[in-house]
Amino acid sequence: MRAASRAPAGVIPIMALHVAFGVCYFLTAQEVLNMKLVAPSAQPLTGMIYCADAVSSFVSYARERRVRATMGTPTSSSTSRAGFPRAALALPVFDLCGLTCAFEAMRALGGPLYQTLSGLLIPFSALLSSVFLSRTFTSRQITAIAIVLGGLAVKAGDALTSDATVDARGVVIAIAATVFYGFRGLTMEYLSKSATPLSGNAQTMLMGCSGLAAFAAYTMSRTARDVDGLVWSYYNARERDTREVAKVLFGNMLSRAFMVKMMMAIVTRAGATQLALSNAIRSVGVITFSHVFFCANDSRQCLNAQGALSAAMVVIGGVAYALGGAKNTSSSSSSSSSSASSSKSRSKSTAAKPSTKTTPAPSLRRRSARRS
């Protein structure tokens, strides 16, 4: 029997933190792209992001070991005893491909349009979870997904019918990023709930270290061959405040680290579809604040009435999905507890009932033998 997908009510504060850190992460990433510190082919954001993931995961790992040592808890995990799950090898591949496509799409389309197209991750994640993890969704959750998709469709229709030209190549790359991120979310959910579960921090460490190694290999094979043309010619092209540059870079890495922590918490507690909906709400925040900070210099970042309507629909749908299974969860837990108590009472009554088994009377042959 396929279990229904239910989002615990405690996931809403985590979603709020995920949205807040995610908005900061994408806004600072857009600012890095606008600053043009190095050539786009050098992939500076990719290196920064994976460095943040690797460092934060190692800090969390060291803290966890210190806490376990203080409490006297053994540090060996069930995963190390049972073996490393092979499905985890696909996780850094999906993450690296999705991240590379996402930044290329942001560069080609601008942040708001890319964030809108990334809403395709919602039905795609639901489809993957249903097919591969045998998850079903309540009618309220399906309605919430439809509301979110409607809001994203409003923004997409407005963007595609505007006077500005849309880069078709960027649209294809954005859809590719959605596919890779969908399989990444599916893999993370599977690893969190499999027979040999991999913790969220271990998954972050795997993605961060693998991505950082891939970025180092790419830098050595391409960027290092033309440092003057790909790095210094871009950086020295304009006057720069080193403190401001360092502040933006550090803010991007720090917000990325905390956003990933919240992302793993959402997947572990509520699944990949809930993460996709949280990403949709985050996209609304990115679109709104992009209007505030970048609209004056880039018309692609501006927000209009259709964008405001889209934002409202996405937020309402995302929160409705998070609450969609709360009532059913409580009712199912109460019914299961009542059935457990009834079965327990039946077992007690059976144990307390006196035995009605009678001892058979001695046979006639045994009686006659006693008389003789």
pLDDT of residue 17: 92
Instruction: Tell which residue, 292, 311, 255, 321, has the closest CA to residue 116.
Output: 311
* DSSP bridge pairs for 5: 137
pLDDT, tens only, 14-32 = 988 999 999 999 889 888 8
| Neighbour-count burial for 49-69, b at 16+ CB within 10 Å, e otherwise | bbbbbbebbeebeeeeeeeee
pLDDT in tens, 108-128: 877 777 877 777 787 888 888
The residue assigned the tokens 């996209």 is: 283
- DSSP state string for 92-131: HHHHHHHHHHHHHHHHHH-HHHHHHHGGGHHHHHHHHHHH
Q: What is the mean pLDDT of residues 266-289?
A: 81
Residue 220 CB burial class (10 angstroms; 0-12, 13-18, ≥19)? exposed
Q: What is the arithmetic mean of pLDDT over 139-149? A: 83
Which CA distances in Å does 25 have to 32, 99, 236, 283, 285?
11, 13, 25, 11, 11
The SS3 call for residue 136 is strand
pLDDT per position as a tens digit, 303-331: 777 777 877 787 787 777 766 654 443 34
How far separated are the first and last CA of the chain, in Å rounded? 70
Q: Name the residue ranges covered by the structural domains of the chain.
A: 11-35+86-200+247-324
How far lies 296's CA from each of 69, 301, 343, in Å?
A: 54, 9, 68
**How many other CB atoms sit within 10 Å of the CB of residue 165?**
6
Q: What is the pLDDT of residues 230-251, one digit of tens each?
A: 999 999 998 899 999 999 999 9
- Residue 322, pLDDT score: 66
Say which residue, 307 or 347, is predicted with more confidence.
307
Q: Mean pLDDT, the chain, as a whole number?
A: 78
Cβ pair 30, 289 in contact under 8 A: no
**pTM for the predicted model, two decimal places:** 0.70
